[in-house]
Amino acid sequence: MTVVGTFGLSVRDQALEVDVQAGLAAVEEGLIEATKSDVPFITEAAQHLVRAGGKRFRPLLVSLGAQFGDPYAPGVVPSGVVVELTHLATLYHDDVMDQADVRRGVASANANWDNSVAVLTGDFLFARASQILADLGPEAVRVQAEAFERLVTGQIQETAGPAEGQDPVAHYLDVVAGKTGSLIAAAGHFGGLMSGADERIVSILTQYGERVGVAFQLADDVLDIASDAWESGKTPGTDLREGVATLPVLYVRARAGSPDATPEDRALSALLEGDLTDDARHAEALAGLRAHPALEQARQDTLRYAQEARALLEPLPEGAAKQALAALCDSVADRAS
């Protein structure tokens, strides 16, 4: 069976398939309901990215984590809605900061309307997530608040850049853990917490979520360079064209600045520092990165985080849910292979 086709995640367990698919369908209904407003324009803007689809990676992790307790507990689906609403809200804000024109194959909210509408719509989604959280209890509010603080901290760190003398790669991994890993960790936490799972299991699911979340982002970094076409809707080298220094680029810079740097290292690093909006320069940079050892180095980091996530699952009770979480690690790793 296929739990989520986007990830190619397959687990041969009919009961788990029914539970997860039903949970994700309920989350989808919850997202539509949570983005309705008495003001039609707000509904249109708030549902813009919901209806564009997406991987629903975070609600998936909530649903899988809930299998270690009561997957039908009343807080499971609402917490899945909360993490996805929070994620969607950050996308509205990210697109303004990045001046992006496209998101999930459709015009971004800021391109469709303007920056003010996009920012305020993101705020509206945060508010709706908070309303749902209020009914889930103080512990749920604390989990979300801590994750959101880390998410925003990661965004600020990315904007500020590494401190003087700080390793840019270490800084980047800290940013990814905050911006991406924190909310996926919260998804694992919610799945266990809301289902009434044992505290030890909740802790494992939280740590697992962060590791697999970082692996997920690093796989995207690799795919942005290595793949000709992939499921996110982004064309190859999008980050490169936008001047976003992802892990492979940072590794090229590190090699170019080392005493053992080759002329090829320095030439590629210089090219990456230039204007890559020009199609010819962009194609040259993309080809250079694909042939450079930095890409494989980034791929190995992705696999390491996925393997660490998988190893964390060892103490969990055996069963279809544990197998699905392990398969999710393999699926994320496969995206970078």
* 3-class secondary structure per residue, 207-263: HHHHHHHHHHHHHHHHHHHHCCCCCCCCCCCHHHHCCCCCHHHHHHHHHHCCCCCCH
Averaged pLDDT for residues 71-87 = 95
| CA distances for 135 relative to 79, 112, 191, angstroms | 10, 33, 16
Q: Percentage of the chain with pLDDT > 90?
A: 63
CA–CA distance, 55 with 5 (Å, rounded to integer): 9
pLDDT recorded at residue 6: 46
Averaged pLDDT for residues 158-182 = 94
Residue 303: which H helix or E strand, with range?
helix 293-312
pLDDT recorded at residue 117: 77
Model confidence at 98, pLDDT cuts 50, 70, 90, reads low
Q: Is the pLDDT of residue 195 over 60?
A: yes
Q: Which tokens is 196 given?
A: 């009434």
Architecture of domain 14-197: Orthogonal Bundle (1.10)
pTM attached to this predicted model: 0.89
Q: Which tokens is 137 given?
A: 């209890």
pLDDT recorded at residue 242: 79
pLDDT recorded at residue 75: 96
Residue spans of beta strands (DSSP E) within the chain: 2-4, 9-10, 102-103, 106-107
β-partners of residue 21 are none
Model confidence at 105, pLDDT cuts 50, 70, 90, reads low
CA–CA distance, 99 with 108 (Å, rounded to integer): 9
| CA distances for 213 relative to 56, 206, 209, 331, angstroms | 13, 11, 6, 12
pLDDT recorded at residue 104: 55
Q: What is the pLDDT of residues 281-311, one digit of tens each?
A: 999 999 999 999 999 999 999 999 999 999 9
Q: Hey, where are the domains in the chain?
A: 14-197, 211-319+329-336
Averaged pLDDT for residues 107-121 = 70
3-state secondary structure of 156: helix
Q: What is the pLDDT of residues 19-54, one digit of tens each?
A: 899 999 999 999 999 999 888 888 888 887 777 777
Domain 211-319+329-336 in CATH 1.10.600.10? The answer is yes
Q: Percentage of the chain with pLDDT > 70?
A: 88
